[in-house]
Amino acid sequence: MPTSDYTPADTLRPATPAGYQSPRPLRYPPLVILGLVSVLVPVAAVVFGGILWYAQGTALDAVFSVDETATGITFTLASGLVAVTCIGTIVAATVLHELVHGLAYRWFGYDVSYGVAPQLGAFYVAAFHQFQERTHNIIVGIAPLVVLDALLLPVLFVPLPLLAFAAFLALLFNTAGAAGDLYS
């Protein structure tokens, strides 16, 4: 696999190997990503929420309640444990999402770097300074959506409502996190 001799201190781009396009920066237009998230998340919420409700039914009352009031709808978590579980699930889903990207890159033989891009509000995995095949990027990009969703869907049917609800949240956050992956 071709590698680049480029270092951040260099001011010139490395020579592009035969068969590769010239390097170009990857940009994430915020409105495009927001558009993808605004489509993916509601669809995922309806689909995964429907499966969760089918699998758990009224057992979910032990986890949260939804009540209609005169001014709207309230969503109430049943306990502090549920709130902590929600936060832990979001963190775990984010870490696992990026870990799956990293494992997919490693499977193709790339050296992997993990990081945070505060200006994007995102965590990332990248194979810096290495020329990458398009098919590899596509597989790496969709890997968390395919792998984690396949692993988490059966958990919606586990007879532990809190665990099933945590899986539902992880499915939502994994799917939302895939918006940027699907764009790139």
pLDDT at 82: 92
Residue-level pLDDT, tens digit, the chain, 184 residues: 666 665 655 555 567 788 877 777 777 777 887 888 899 899 999 999 999 999 999 999 999 888 999 999 998 888 899 999 999 999 999 999 999 999 999 999 999 999 988 887 778 899 988 888 889 999 999 999 999 999 999 999 999 999 999 999 999 999 988 887 887 6
Determine contact, residues 123/91, Cβ cutoff 8 Å: no
Q: C-alpha 182: how far from its chain's center?
A: 10
Q: pTM of the entire structure?
A: 0.81
Enumerate residues 6+ apart whose C-beta is below 8 A from 88. 166
pLDDT at 83: 92
Cβ-in-10-Å burial (0-12, 13-18, 19+) of 108 comes to: middle
pLDDT at 8: 55
For every residue of 27-90, DSSP letters joined together read ---HHHHHHHHHHHHHHHHHHHHHHHHHHHGGGGGGTEEEEE-SSSEEEEES-HHHHHHHHHHH
Residues 73 and 162: their CA atoms lie apart, in Å, by 22
Measured N-to-C along each axis, helices 80-107 and 161-183 cross at an angle, to the nearest 10 degrees, of 40
The residue count of the chain comes to: 184
Residues 116 and 122: their CA atoms lie apart, in Å, by 6
